[in-house]
Amino acid sequence: MRIETCYFCSHPVYPSKGITFVRNDAKAFRFCRSKCHKNFKMKRNPRKLKWTKAFRKSANKEMVVDSTLSFAARRNVPTRYSRDLVATTLKAMQRVSEIQTRRERAFYKQRMSGNAANRRAADRKLVEENQHMLPEVRARLQQQAELSDVEETIQEEAIAVAIPARQRQAKRQVQAGDAMDIE
């Protein structure tokens, strides 16, 4: 019993899962799910599909060169069982996977390191171009309005008075209910 890897997406395939295709030259292809199987039958190249490990590895999105990756390998020399050896192996496996995750994280950080500056530049540009959309501009306007509150009320009354009576009548005929035009 062993955990195979999917031929197409490199996902681990546990015993009793997936499907195996054996070609007439005896090469076995294990697929984790029907999606991978179908894509294989369509003769797609896993390196060109973004969702496969093959793509991620070839596009430098995953750690490929590292000493931790050489621990798991198919050795074609049979080793006689020894309890001590298996015990040390199990311990080593834990430690190796620990180091591997740590390095993967470092790799990811390294990969993403250039993004912060780009994002900042983009933000700055966006803010510069869209000043009018910010609430603080309006807040400033409002502040100014509050300062000249008294003057404004007086002005408003004056405007109200200034509107000619005839115009007011016309408007009334057009409008219905609460609705009014604003620009």
Q: How many CB atoms lie within 10 A of CB 81?
A: 7
Q: Convert residues 37-56 into a mask of x (bound to other proteins by CB under 8 A) and - (unbound).
A: --------------------
Which one of 76, 118, 130, 144 is in contact with other proteins (CB under 8 A)?
130
Rounded to whole angstroms, how far apart are CA atoms 36 and 46?
9
Tell me the residue type at 80: R
Indicate the SS3 state at residue 164: coil
Which one of 34, 138, 147, 148 is in contact with other proteins (CB under 8 A)?
138
Which one of 67, 101, 108, 147 is in contact with other proteins (CB under 8 A)?
67
Place of tokens 């994002």: 119
Q: How many CB atoms lie within 10 A of CB 37?
A: 20
Rounded to whole angstroms, how far apart are CA atoms 32 and 19?
7
Residues at the site binding other proteins, with contacts judged by CB under 8 A: 1-3, 12, 67-68, 71-75, 79-83, 85-86, 88-90, 92-97, 99, 102, 106, 109, 113, 116, 120, 122-124, 126-127, 130, 133-136, 138-139, 141-142, 145-146, 152-153, 156, 159-160, 163, 168, 170-175, 178-183
